[in-house]
Amino acid sequence: MMNLEQFISKYVTERDSSLFAKDIQNNSAALTKAICGKSMLVIGGAGSIGSSFIKACLQFHPKALVVVDVNENGLAELTRDLRSTKGMYVPDDYVPYPINYAQLVFEKMFRSRGGFDIVANFSAHKHVRSEKDIYSVEALLQNNVLNAK
């Protein structure tokens, strides 16, 4: 099986470690205090930025991780990746939800869990070109501005 991290290291970034690795190491005590034993909600967690954030945070052992994303396939891939990565800590209370954070079902889920200690929102329409069409622009504004309360 191909090791994706090694492939990226060798052929894409041409470096062995993250540009953030030194900062994470230097601030390990503060990050542990902020994350360890806390409940986390990551909105847009199946995307590239959200999933990287999750992987960086998991090393500090949150007690719960809830990931919300409209991309059900992305959530499945994230879950497979987390559970199959050797040495990756995944809390027992890990729940991926394929829901839209602007819908009533999100509010129900949020209230039923009594809120979260940490909430990170990475949901965004990032690849929409404004000249594409008016409906794409409306979707971008709806998601990135109006629903991001």
pLDDT digits 0-9 by tens, 44-90 = 999 988 999 999 999 999 999 999 999 999 999 999 999 999 999 99
pLDDT above 70: residue 121: yes
pLDDT above 70: residue 131: no
Mean pLDDT over 128-135 rounds to 65
- Is residue 107 situated within a structural domain? yes
Residues whose CB falls within 8 Å of the CB of residue 89, separated by 6 or more in sequence, listed in order: 58, 59, 61
- Is residue 144 situated within a structural domain? no
Residues whose CB falls within 8 Å of the CB of residue 92, separated by 6 or more in sequence, listed in order: none
pLDDT interval class at 129 (50, 70, 90)? low
| Domain boundaries, position 80 | 19-124
- Is residue 41 situated within a structural domain? yes
- Is residue 7 situated within a structural domain? no
- CA atoms lying within 13 Å on the CB side of residue 64: 14
**Percent of the chain having pLDDT more than 90?**
60
- Is residue 135 situated within a structural domain? no
Domains of the chain: total: 1
pLDDT above 60: residue 35: yes
pLDDT at 11: 87
- Is residue 11 situated within a structural domain? no
- Is residue 86 situated within a structural domain? yes
Q: What is the pLDDT of residues 87-110, one digit of tens each?
A: 999 999 999 999 988 889 999 999
Phi, psi of 20 (to 5 degrees): -95, -10
Q: What is the CATH number of the domain that holds 96?
A: 3.40.50.720
Sign of CA dihedral 123, 54, 64, 33: negative
- Is residue 5 situated within a structural domain? no
